[in-house]
Structure 1
Amino acid sequence: MDITFLGTASAHPSPTRGVSGTVVKSDGEAWLVDCGEGTQIQLMKSSVKPGRITKIFITHLHGDHSFGLPGLLCTLNTAFLDPDREGSIMEIYGPQGLRKYVRVSLELSRSEMSYSYVVHELQVPDTDHPHDWESWKPSHEAEGSLHPNEKAGRNITMNADGIYNLHEDDRHIIQAAPLTHRVPCFGYVFLEKPQPGRLDAEMLRSRGIPPGPLYARIKAGQEIEAPDGSVITPQDVVGPTRPGRKIVILGDTKESSRIIPIAMNADVLVHEATVADELHDICIERGHSTPAMAGQFAAQIQCKHLVISHFSQRYSPLSRQCKEGDETVQKLLDQTRATFPGGKVTAAEDLMTISVPARK
């Protein structure tokens, strides 16, 4: 598994940094978390193959996390012409209102695609629907007929534990939980299921079995027969099952306690650190986190690797040549490390890829 950061800025893109867009890659698939303005351009600059994207997860509907989605969906037309993608459906997950946003954007621009899409909406209680302007309370319901390329999506409700179960297959489980921001917002957890132990190929060769289909059978838990007629069991040549990896990516947040139960012991946590600690009060007022808050949350869930992102444009990227006196992301990085002592901390940069090693 690995994570590629397409954009790491808050609010709006700049010549040196794109806005939120993060790709998780696992087993040949790519899942995009957030799609701010210009994400499709960042995607073309990256090592991510657009045709690998099968699911898109939107944390919330602020523009720096969603304005790039209609354009990206149209750009992916070419990717879906690949015979390997024929008949497949792009699955999109996000808060109430996302279905309306996508449908209206595509309808009013008269956009048609070469593939189908579906929007699954995460339902939130009315109390979680704050509004920046009390006199303006827009409807979140998607009305009218489906777009020609749209399939009917699910309305997903949280379970008794306050968790949204989004997807499960043979290899992965994907869940979400609410965060506290100015609008309904979510964090997503990508969990790899326990992995088979390592195969002792040398032992198999010593028993007269060359590499081939029998290796796959015994690793899948089946007994096989050696040339001398003896039976070889999985326990003889396959090591103990290894725990799967866990990646946690949070949207904008000033308080994240509701995701803690499913975020514990993450291999990688991606957490915003929008402005420096001394701007704490205004940061909280706007629904965001400081570096200290990111470090404290990482320590609370006992994650292995904290990656901070979603930086205010007042902080220049580490890789950029700056004028003397300019503030850089190094300041945010130092403040984060102060509250996550002994933990690994990285400041994300556009087009950076982080590998998530298998657990032992």
Structure 2
Amino acid sequence: MELIFLGTASCYPTADRSVSCTLLRFEDGRIWMFDCGEGSQVQLQKSSAKPGRIEKIFITHLHGDHLFGLPGLLCTLSNNMSESKSDFLLEIFGPHGLRRYVRECLSLSRSMLNFSYVVHELMIAQHQYPDDWHDWKVDNDDNGCLHPQEIGGRSIVCDDSGVWEVFSEQSATVLAGAALHSIPSFGFVVTEADSPGRLDVEKLKQLGVPPGPLYGRIKAGHSVEINGNTIEPSSVLGPKKKGRKVTIVGDTCDASRMKKISQNSDVIVHEATLEEALRDKALENGHSTPAMAAQFAKDIGARVLILYHYSQRYRQTADDGEGDMDSVAKLLAEAEAALSDCDSCSVVASGDLMEIPVKRRE
């Protein structure tokens, strides 16, 4: 499992940095995308990721730098399909209003797709509404008229503890929590299912089990019979491999409502828009500093903190002759200083097209 950062800028793209888009690639090649800012499909073509392996897209909030690339990406994915894939369903998850945005962009541009898509909306909790929220229309007013390739999606409501149960499947579970920002924003927590332990091949040979399909059945947890003897998986499998936990937080100045569901994350991806000296400005716009991101990483017991979503005032690398002035190195140094008393958590400053593995705990 690895994270691929297609865009790490805030607000708008620059000549050398694209806006928010992060991929989570599983070991079997499947890809889940988190946010899709302007230009994400261009970045995707520069990366090692295969566009055809994208099966789910998660949008943290409805600001353009996390959203404007989505309609174009859908059309590009469709154009790259040689023929209609009637059996493929692309799932999109995001805040209430996302369904209308996708539908109207595709409908007004007369864009037809070679596959079906569905938008599942996370319904906004009362505490997330800004004062002027109802001045902005987000509901559908089309009497249920779907785009030709659209399938009706779910409306996901938070439970009494403030958690949105996004979905659960055999390989992973996804929960969402509220992240305080200038508009409703979410963070997503992906918890990978535990994997079977390593097969004791030598023992299997001694028991007379031939290599092949029976190995797969045992690894899947099924007992098998050989020469009248029943072989239980527990007798030939090592300890289970603990599933990994990845938390990706959208824009926020306070992710504390996500502490419970993100506890013990192997990786936390958290914005660090401005340096600590500009904390007041960051808070005014609903953003975080590296020290704030580091504090949240410590609060949840994360092993690795990955910074992203940098203001345009920070170059990716220091300018020769000017030291590290106004570079991402300054943000990284602040996060490292804030984590100096935490031996269990390290920090990485992501950059466009950077690939970072998500390692299993020992």
1:115 aligns to what? 115
- 2:136 partner letter: P
CA distance in 2, matches of 1:118, 1:261: 29
TM-score by length of 2: 0.93
CA distance in 2, matches of 1:348, 1:56: 20
Contact 2:86-2:116 within 8 A present in 1 as well: no
1:203 CA displacement: 1.8
Contact 1:191-1:244 within 8 A present in 2 as well: yes
Q: Map Cα deviations across residues 275-315 of structure 1 (whole Å, 9 max, x no partner).
A: 11110111101000000000000000000111000011111
Q: 2:355 aligns with which of 348, 353, 356?
A: 353
- 1:139 partner letter: K
Tell me, what secondary structure is at the counterpart of 2:111?
Answer: coil
1:20 CA displacement: 0.1
CA distance in 2, matches of 1:13, 1:323: 25
1:29 aligns to what? 30
CA distance in 1, matches of 2:175, 2:82: 30
Contact 1:80-1:86 within 8 A present in 2 as well: no
1:50 CA displacement: 0.7
CA distance in 2, matches of 1:128, 1:221: 44
Tell me, what secondary structure is at the counterpart of 2:329?
Answer: helix
CA distance in 2, matches of 1:162, 1:316: 37
Tell me, what secondary structure is at the counterpart of 1:218?
Answer: helix
The aligned runs of 1:250-269 (5 Å cut-off) are 250-269=249-268
Q: Map Cα deviations across residues 204-247 of structure 1 (whole Å, 9 max, x no partner).
A: 123333321111111122223445x4432212210122321000
1:178 aligns to what? 178
Tell me, what secondary structure is at the counterpart of 2:234?
Answer: helix
2:205 aligns to what? 205
CA distance in 2, matches of 1:218, 1:162: 39
Contact 1:268-1:303 within 8 A present in 2 as well: yes
- 1:251 partner letter: G
Q: Map Cα deviations across residues 108-133 of structure 1 (whole Å, 9 max, x no partner).
A: 111111111111111013442215xx
TM-score by length of 1: 0.94
1:135 CA displacement: 10
Tell me, what secondary structure is at the counterpart of 1:222?
Answer: coil
2:288 aligns to what? 289
Contact 2:218-2:233 within 8 A present in 1 as well: yes
Tell me, what secondary structure is at the counterpart of 1:76?
Answer: helix
1:359 CA displacement: 3.6
Whether 2:49 is the aligned partner of 1:48: answer yes
The aligned runs of 1:326-337 (5 Å cut-off) are 326-337=325-336
Contact 2:88-2:115 within 8 A present in 1 as well: yes
CA distance in 2, matches of 1:113, 1:135: 32
Structure 2: unaligned runs, 5 residues or longer: none
Q: Map Cα deviations across residues 232-275 of structure 1 (whole Å, 9 max, x no partner).
A: 22122101223210000000000111111110000110000111
1:142 aligns to what? 140
RMSD over equivalenced CA pairs, Å: 1.8
- 1:231 partner letter: T
Contact 2:125-2:158 within 8 A present in 1 as well: no
Structure 1: unaligned runs, 5 residues or longer: none
Tell me, what secondary structure is at the counterpart of 2:31?
Answer: strand
2:128 aligns to what? 128
CA distance in 2, matches of 1:82, 1:210: 41
